[in-house]
Amino acid sequence: MKDRSVLISPSILAADFSEPCHALDLISSLGLDYVHLDVMDGSFVPNITFGFKFIKDLRKRSDLVFDVHLMIESPERYIKNFAQSGADIITVHKEATKHLDRAISMIKEEGKEAGVAINPATSICEIENVLYLVDYVLVMSVNPGFGGQSFIPESLKKIRELNEIRKEEGYEFRIMVDGGVNLNNHKAIKDAGADILVTGEAFFKADDHESFIEEIES
């Protein structure tokens, strides 16, 4: 992997689902390492996407780091399935489980990297007790469920707060930001302390993908 100051994890939610491999090939050809896979159940969020069978089939065609964002109720029911489908990172929502510590521990027991995600209305203090356990904290900067929404600027405060806690406590989690990331706000998001930027529409709709990446990485 190339040494980068910030990582980009393109969300294929914004790609053409009739040609998912085309999106994976594009991401790889640009030298990126991650792909963000948004799993939605129509209950935790008002939208439905795909499940572990789809991810398992994509796995056969790609060496990218599969960054799987589970927007599903009680994710612990399916962690084993997603781990076995070839996910590298599995992120669960704090709001989707009564047993967050257990869900995160299950991901780690499967030998995968674990992330915890929080919705815009959730405060950092609600996940404080699992910060020592996780590899990623995903700050949702839109309400989850759809691509192409506008970045909620209040999210920057949460990124800064997480960055402070990380320094104070010596934690090693990486901060991932998801929703409405684009060329107008990436600098503020990075300055606040984000390490990984998820980008759907802005990435797939960019006229020139190489200059989009160069600008984000600059």
Q: Kindly state the tokens that stand for 97.
A: 């489980």
Residues 1-30 that bind ligand DX5 (CB under 6 A): 11, 13-14
69 touching Zn ion, by CB under 5 A: yes
213 touching ligand DX5, by CB under 6 A: no
Residue pair 155/120 in contact (Cβ under 8 Å)? The answer is yes
- Smaller CB distance to Zn ion: residue 69 or 186? 69
Which of 67, 199, 212, 213 touches ligand DX5 (CB under 6 A)?
199
Task: Sketch the per residue contact string, 33 through 62, with Zn ion: x for CB under 5 A, - otherwise.
Answer: -----x------------------------
Residue pair 70/39 in contact (Cβ under 8 Å)? The answer is yes
Q: Return the active site residues.
A: 38, 178
- Smaller CB distance to ligand DX5: residue 13 or 90? 13
Strands of 94-173, DSSP E: 113-118, 136-140
181 touching ligand DX5, by CB under 6 A: yes
Residue pair 55/87 in contact (Cβ under 8 Å)? The answer is yes
Residue pair 10/199 in contact (Cβ under 8 Å)? The answer is yes
